[in-house]
Amino acid sequence: MADPHGEGGTRAILAALFANLGIAIAKFIGFLLTRSSAMLAESIHSVADTGNQALLLFGGRSANREPTPDHPFGYGRERYFWAFVVSVVLFALGSLFALYEGISKLRHPHELDSPAIAIGILALGILLEGYSFRTAVVAANNVRGDASWWAFIRNAKAPELPVVLLEDLGAMLGLMIAIFAIGMVLVTDNPRWDGAGTVSVGVLLGIIAIVLAIEMRSLLIGEAARPSDRQAILDTIAASLDAERLIHIRTQHLGPEELLVAAKVAFAPTMSFAEVATAIDEIEAAIRDRVPHARVIYIEPDVDRASSTPS
């Protein structure tokens, strides 16, 4: 069965889901033993991340539905929608809760119970998150090519890998912040460090959620083809012996692996209707050969009036 989230996407999502589920359970146990607000914030963060991975899996399944009369272009953008929901969940359950809990702890600090247990659980969380993060990195390396990591996150048309990468990165940094905060409580005997660490986790998650929301909003609104794909389409039309000139072209991603191409092409006025229809079919086939995910193509024939006007 084809991976509905792109190459390696489902594997990365499942790795993150099981890692976060295990971490969430361990963190809640740690919170009950230590009463650490940083540990509680990290617990809620892991619960949110577990739910987020479930939403990404659901979005992939929903996007595979067949087109209907009400949705003739299919449901490919479901993946963008649920990835956007993930950013909202991360902000609401992760960032805002951590900020609230951290500020509360700064105002009303209390001593930690069993901090060594908390540090041990957080260290275990780093190991599990590290495995999940490594899985996502390996999957992303198969598709990002020579692009930098930031360029990959900004320009990826499939949302799942950027989401998992940023979530895992945020989780690992959050765990390190929590360990540092608890360590500072032990060194200084000042429980406000626990609250400061919790606030820092909230700020970190808020930044990641905002970045994700901005990127998913762009995909939901509709992004054009990648520059390399657009150039391949232009070259294909230019290579046609029947097409005199490309008048204009519009492209838009209907989903991560489905591209809409609409072009107006000038043909010689001497060509018959049948010849134009055959030429259009050949151009469409050539475009799909070079850009396989250009699945919906509309080519409108026209005549080059500038060249056909008598002098």
Q: What is the pLDDT of residue 309?
A: 46
Asked whether residue 165 falls in the same domain as residue 252, the answer is no
The pair phi, psi for residue 267, each rounded to 5°, is: -115, 160
Mean pLDDT of the region 206-221: 90
Q: How many domains does the chain have?
A: 2
Count CB neighbours of 14 within 10 A: 15
- Provide the percentage of residues in the chain whose pLDDT is more than 90: 30
Q: Which domain holds residue 19?
A: 9-221
Could you tell me if residue 3 is inside a domain? no
Q: Residues 137-194: pLDDT tens digits?
A: 988 888 888 889 998 888 888 888 888 899 889 888 988 998 898 889 889 989 889 8
Asked whether residue 41 falls in the same domain as residue 117, the answer is yes
Q: In the listed set 171, 199, 221, which residue is the last one of a domain according to the structure?
A: 221
Q: In the listed set 171, 203, 221, which residue is the last one of a domain according to the structure?
A: 221
For residue 34, the surrounding DSSP H or E stretch is helix 9-34
> CATH number for the domain including 283?
3.30.70.1350
Asked whether residue 151 falls in the same domain as residue 173, the answer is yes
Mean pLDDT of the region 267-288: 93
Asked whether residue 182 falls in the same domain as residue 236, the answer is no
Q: Residues 272-282: pLDDT tens digits?
A: 999 999 999 99
Mean pLDDT of the region 29-38: 78
Asked whether residue 158 falls in the same domain as residue 267, the answer is no
**∠ CA 87-178-125, rounded to 5°:** 75
For residue 296, the surrounding DSSP H or E stretch is strand 296-303
Q: What is the pLDDT of residue 4?
A: 56
Asked whether residue 137 falls in the same domain as residue 231, the answer is no
Tokens of 107: 């105002």
Asked whether residue 158 falls in the same domain as residue 236, the answer is no
> CATH number for the domain including 14?
1.20.1510.10
Q: pTM for this structure? A: 0.78
163: Cα separation from own chain's centroid: 4
